[in-house]
Amino acid sequence: MTDTVSPSHPVSYPPSPEFAAQANATADLYAAAEKDSLAFWAEQADRLHWETPYQEVLDWSDAPVAKWFVGGTLNVAYNCVDRHVADGRGDQVAIHWEGEPGDSRDITYSELLADVSRAANAFTALGLVAGDRVAIYMPMIPEAIVSMLACARLGLTHGVIFAGFSSAAVRQRVDDAGARLVITTDGQWRRGKPAPLKAAVDEAVDGAESVEHVLVVNRTGSDVDWVEGRDLWWHDTVTPASPEHTAEAFDSEHPLFILYTSGTTGKPKGILHTSGGYLTQASYTHYNVFDLKRDTDVYWCTADIGWITGHSYIVYGPLSNGATQVVYEGTPNSPDEHRHWNIVEKYGVTIYYTAPTLVRTFMKWGRQIPDAHDLSTIRLLGSVGEPINPEAWRWYREVIGGNSAPIVDTWWQTETGAIMISPLPGVTATKPGSAQTPLPGIAARVVDETKPVELGESGFLVIEKPWPSMLRGIWGDMDRYRDTYWSHFAEQGWYFAGDGARLDEDGDLWVLGRVDDVMNVSGHRISTSEVESALVGHPAVAEAAVVGASDETTGQGIVAFVILREGVENTGEALIKELKAQVATDISPIARPRDLKIVPELPKTRSGKIMRRLLRDVAEGRDLGDTSSLVDPKVFEAIRGS
């Protein structure tokens, strides 16, 4: 164990007897899954409503493309909405929605059903049929969730694009998916001001062949350009549609959504998820990891629907379990740093799920802010997106969790679809910084090149057996799917997650971070090559190398090294600013480099590979390690001096 636990801190935190006594998940789940994992997953699938029962739990004959719950049919939206209304829970609030400017709406399951039905009828009237793709580029408003569910209801495959992405990124995704419909808003609220959003869609879909319609929700009342025949207002199209709609069942393997994520090359990967297995695991994990009590809990996941966490733990997991949840549109410091805690108090939030980067931001703002609020309703805390450092973990537990709420540190990925490694809150004695153990039913291991490592050793994180919510491929590029995830351990048939991990002496797992060229900035995945290609796209740049340097608040910060083209004048700060802006425009403001250095040369090996390790050393201000394989070690003096 290398964790620096000071003597005054316990090494681990067992759940209180009271929590353990009422927990949904007990230790016998592990035993049941161990005994017969397929029977275990079948039991989890049976928590859902199937129209046609499945005949086989898993068909792995076409590996690495799994089929789960073979032959079964279901409707995902029915499971998330209609089912609860049919169970007499129509008046229960599904969503306490809180707008950034202070407006709010409570939406019951009956109202959600009416809204989803209206949208489904409107989408059908536009000519959309099962299998078509729909791009959703929206802020965190109820219509975004309604749109996702209406797609699911009709068997349309949605592709949500984070509303912080640039028009170029939207275009790339819309083209790759071949979306027929794009749903957006006129604008979005950001720190008290409306920012345009449809304008980016106008730019993005100009000339995009697949797009027939752009459906626009009026959110900010901003002026928009309008293309007659293509553009439609939500209030003219969806609102007047009939609130009655009968859901049709689809095959368990029907594509539910595509979500783009960064890979190690410049082009983002469209991760494909299907219906029955995805919903089974999203629902199972949400129920057991968050210990959801649908009658009493008020659950809040602070993610954005533009990311997988929003898909699985705002939309499909919680709604399939009939949860009451908070959905908040804005930033945590609008109008001030008290916003999250005001919301917790207003709705009596009991379960709060966020990212370590935000916990560290709260720490920076100071504990007097949360201390000014009654957070006593909180009984469970979650963390996701990056390793949580022990200091932040302890602060989170003490200041937000009243020294008693268990913390579930959940490891998973866009590709895994749902949580894979996490404590069970009523069972596990949690250690600050460790994601602990694979969930019941999940075969995650830490391995070296050929076999599991011993206790106390580090290695690669792999998944040995298929799991229900696993990705079914990369949209339009199955070779890349096999190559990215299945070629590293081809012989063993293990899924390669791209993360490094360590097993401690107790067999608990510590995720160490990516072992590839993917950076993790505030929990967002950004590939170094994506940022490099944005930089090289600028006429002044000849070559660029990008590394993730450790950053106290954001986990990693992006540091770029750039060589200018011959004859380009180095205008210093002005050019640096312009190059950083280029990345923000090309990808998203979240990809804007924290530091950018204009350098005369880049350190390369004799075979011409850029030595990122050395650049990282420079970026983090460390002494240089071994430079013996460099072509010309003097390059470094030049880089350091610039």
Question: Residue 518: enclosing H or E segment and its boundaries?
Answer: strand 518-521
Instruction: CB nearer to ligand WTA: give 109 or 362.
Output: 362
- What is the biggest distance separating any 2 CA atoms in the chain, rounded to whole angstroms? 74
Instruction: CB nearer to ligand WTA: give 213 or 311.
Output: 311
> Is there binding between residue 115 and ligand WTA (CB under 6 A)?
no
> Is there binding between residue 437 and ligand WTA (CB under 6 A)?
no
Closest separation in Å from C-beta 20 to ligand WTA: 22
Instruction: CB nearer to ligand WTA: give 104 or 264.
Output: 264
Residue 524 has which token pair?
């967002």
Which among 170-178, 383-391, 464-472, 615-623 is the span making contact with ligand WTA, rule CB under 6 A? 383-391
Instruction: CB nearer to ligand WTA: give 324 or 437.
Output: 437
Instruction: CB nearer to ligand WTA: give 189 or 393.
Output: 393
Instruction: State yes or no: cis peptide before 356, omega within 30 of 0.
Output: no
**Span 248-277, contacts to ligand WTA by CB under 6 A:** 261
Q: Where do we find the tokens 């009596």?
A: 348
Instruction: CB nearer to ligand WTA: give 384 or 619.
Output: 384
Q: What is the x/- site pattern for ligand WTA, positions 173-202, by CB under 6 A? A: ------------------------------
Instruction: CB nearer to ligand WTA: give 73 or 262.
Output: 262
Instruction: State yes or no: cis peptide before 335, omega within 30 of 0.
Output: yes
Which among 399-407, 506-514, 534-542, 564-572 is the span making contact with ligand WTA, rule CB under 6 A? 506-514
Phi, psi of 219, deg, nearest 5: -105, -45
Phi, psi of 538, deg, nearest 5: -85, 135
Residues with Cβ within 8 Å of 431's Cβ and at least 6 positions away in sequence, in order, are 3, 11, 12, 13, 504, 508
| Cα–Cα distance measured from residue 525 to residue 385, given in angstroms and rounded to the nearest whole number | 9
Cα angle 413, 262, 448 (rounded to 5 degrees) comes to: 55
Closest separation in Å from C-beta 397 to ligand WTA: 15
> Is there binding between residue 514 and ligand WTA (CB under 6 A)?
yes
- The site for ligand WTA, by CB under 6 A, has a size of 23
Instruction: CB nearer to ligand WTA: give 409 or 617.
Output: 409
Closest separation in Å from C-beta 556 to ligand WTA: 10
> Is there binding between residue 386 and ligand WTA (CB under 6 A)?
yes
> Is there binding between residue 520 and ligand WTA (CB under 6 A)?
yes
CA distance readout (Å), 285 to 31, 438, 517, 615: 17, 12, 29, 40
**DSSP track, 357-412:** HHHHHHHHH-THHHHTS--TT--EEEEESSPPPHHHHHHIIIIISTTTS-EEEEB-
For the chain, the first-to-last Cα distance in angstroms comes to 40
Residue 162 contacts residue 135 (beta carbons within 8 Å): no
Classify residue 485 as exposed, middle or buried by CB count within 10 Å of its CB (0-12, 13-18, 19+): buried
| Cα–Cα distance measured from residue 275 to residue 253, given in angstroms and rounded to the nearest whole number | 6
Closest separation in Å from C-beta 388 to ligand WTA: 7
Which of 115, 409, 508, 517 is in the footprint of ligand WTA by CB under 6 A? 409
Q: What is the x/- site pattern for ligand WTA, positions 486-505, by CB under 6 A? A: -----------xxx------
Question: Which residue, judged by CB position, is nearest to ligand WTA in the bound state?
Answer: 414
**Span 72-111, contacts to ligand WTA by CB under 6 A:** none
Q: What is the x/- site pattern for ligand WTA, positions 570-609, by CB under 6 A? A: ----------------------------------------
Q: Which amino acid is at 231?
A: D
Binding residues for ligand WTA, per CB under 6 A?
A: 261, 307-309, 384-387, 409-414, 435, 497-499, 511, 513-514, 520, 525
